[in-house]
Chains A and B, each alone.
Chain A
Amino acid sequence: MQLKDQIVIVTGAGRGIGLAIAEGMGREGARVVIGELILDRGEDAAAQLRASGFDAVAIQLDITQPASCRAIVERVRHDFGRLDVLVNNAGLFALHKSEDMPEEAWRLQIDVMLNGTFFMTQAAAQIMIPQHSGSIVSIASIGGMGGWPMRSAYNAAKAAVINLTETLAGEWAQYGIRVNAVSPGVTRTEMMADLIRRGISADKYANRTPIGRVAEVEEIASAVCFLASNRASYITGENLRVDGGWVPWANMNALGFPETE
């Protein structure tokens, strides 16, 4: 058990990659705090973890409110006395032609994934710095590593998170805090199911990936758990690409634009 008795906050862990991360952390012996905007969803997830014998609770968290980020950290400080790992997973995804993207859609994606990641991380640092220890892993995306039509807000936010990871790693190594990111490729989640309901075929994503299939959430979770743990003790400022080879492939058979109407 790589994370025995460590206190871990995972944001947006009610489902998808976040839930898989929470489960992975539980399996490694961690005590998991699920931060979720929709508390019911968070509590269902925590109950699921407890049913598997893991230690988990849910706390309501609105990642777009710095005060909410500070509040969840204060709850953790009060209930557990320490914070060992933060996983910034909360995110949302929307496709828009950039010329038509509503102002609110742009602002919300930047607010959740960039501002939310920053303010949640800043809140965690208030405990981790005096503790002189901590490990932070943010979920970025292959979208943050290149251009992708109709995903301008999502990609810009993810690219910023990758850059932020490097800056914070440099600043906080002196406090014994490691800061890393994981960039998943296309992963089998509700987000992806949503795109399929809008008419894009799952095969299209599989065929665009050298490994020939999309990722399963466990494959992303294992990278996060590795980076969070002491096995990665000399790794900081890294963005670990978990994408089946998607990014470095020239791919003569491009996905096609637009991805979906």
Chain B
Amino acid sequence: MTQNVVVITGAGRGLGLGLAHRFAQSSQHVVIAERDAVLGETAVATLHADGLAASFVALDVRDPAQSRALVSKVARDLGSIGVWINNAGVSHLGPAETLPQADWDDSVATMVSGTFYCCQAAGQHMLAQGRGVIINIASVTGLLHEHGRVAYSTAKAGVIALTEALGIEWASRGVRVVGIAPGVIETEMVRQTEANGHGTRAAWERRTPMRRLGTIEEIAEAALYLSSNDASYIVGETLRVDGGWTAYQLF
């Protein structure tokens, strides 16, 4: 079994599921690594219904033992891991001065530590085989800050730094670590953000030079490119896919 498997965390829905779809469509077996078993199994069923190859493995990224166990299981049952996408994230928003400790800790535990633990587990596997690509999903929020997002934005900024640090460390050993910083994308998370009063679609569209939100497919296309051999010299870089959000910075 030498099939190249793609593991995607938080792939039970939203951007993660969209990534899974795109990679499975390009003839790769996708492992849906998801904390919520119902979401995970449903996602796999959706992909199977489209004739795509996928399987579900439970994973809470906050526990390093689980990512290590997942890597062992996938390597044993399915084959070598060629691509690992760290997409799992949580959105705890609210004023910084009253943000509950649990919200801060969960944000750091999931997106900073969780991403690191997964990179470490995947990295050990990929370094041993001398090849592999890790893609970390960051966010424009980690680059340009808004009120009420301190935990999310700091964690995402941490993900960008992690991508650089691991990128330079593993580049000469066949493992490329790269990132994507999506702008505001049509997802359930964004719909929830609006429903919870933390922004409006109209405001996000107005702020984006392209005057629209991005689609999951547009993020997935960038991920597919970065994972490919065409991107063989791209290391430690986080690619912004944001409709001009961050470029339109100063006015």
Q: Which stretch, B74-82, B92-100, B104-112, B230-238, touches the partner chain A?
A: B230-238
14 contacts between A and B (CB under 8 A): A166-B248, A167-B247, A173-B208, A211-B171, A212-B172, A222-B230, A231-B221, A231-B225, A232-B221, A235-B222, A235-B240, A235-B241, A237-B209, A248-B167
**CB pair A220 B239 closer than 8 Å:** no
Among B168, B171, B219, B247, point to the contact of A169 (Cβ < 8 A).
B247
**CB pair A234 B236 closer than 8 Å:** no
Residues of A within 8 Å of B221, CB to CB, are 231-233
| Interface flags, B215-251, vs A, CB<8A=1, else 0 | 1001101100100001111111101111110111101
Report the nearest A residue to B161, measured CB to CB. Answer: A248
| Interface flags, A155-188, vs B, CB<8A=1, else 0 | 0000000000111011001100000000001000
**CB pair B211 A223 closer than 8 Å:** no
**CB pair A219 B233 closer than 8 Å:** yes
Residues of B within 8 Å of A245, CB to CB, are 167-168, 171, 235-236
Q: Does B214 contact A (CB under 8 A)?
A: yes
What 6 A-B pairs come out closest when comparing CB atoms?
A237-B247, A173-B209, A245-B235, A166-B247, A248-B164, A210-B171
**CB pair A173 B243 closer than 8 Å:** yes
Residues of B within 8 Å of A215, CB to CB, are 233
> Which residues, 135 to 170 on B, are CB-close (under 8 Å) to A?
164-165, 167-169
**CB pair B231 A233 closer than 8 Å:** no
Do A237 and B236 form a contact, CB below 8 Å, given A173-B211, A248-B167, A248-B168?
no
Residues of A within 8 Å of B18, CB to CB, are none
- Report the Cα distance A260→B218, complex, angstroms: 44
Q: Does A72 contact B (CB under 8 A)?
A: no
Binding site for B on A (CB under 8 A): 165-167, 169-170, 173-174, 185, 209-212, 215-216, 219-220, 222-223, 226, 231-238, 240-245, 247-249
Residues of A within 8 Å of B209, CB to CB, are 169-170, 173-174, 236-237
Q: In the complex, what's the smallest C-beta–C-beta distance from A48 to chain B, in angstroms?
A: 21
**CB pair A241 B237 closer than 8 Å:** yes
**CB pair A234 B171 closer than 8 Å:** no
Residues of B within 8 Å of A165, CB to CB, are 247
Q: In the complex, what's the smallest C-beta–C-beta distance from B38 to chain A, in angstroms?
A: 31
Residues of B within 8 Å of A166, CB to CB, are 247-249
**CB pair B183 A234 closer than 8 Å:** yes
**CB pair B237 A240 closer than 8 Å:** yes
Q: In the complex, what's the smallest C-beta–C-beta distance from B140 to chain A, in angstroms?
A: 11
Do A210 and B235 form a contact, CB below 8 Å, given A234-B243, A237-B247?
yes
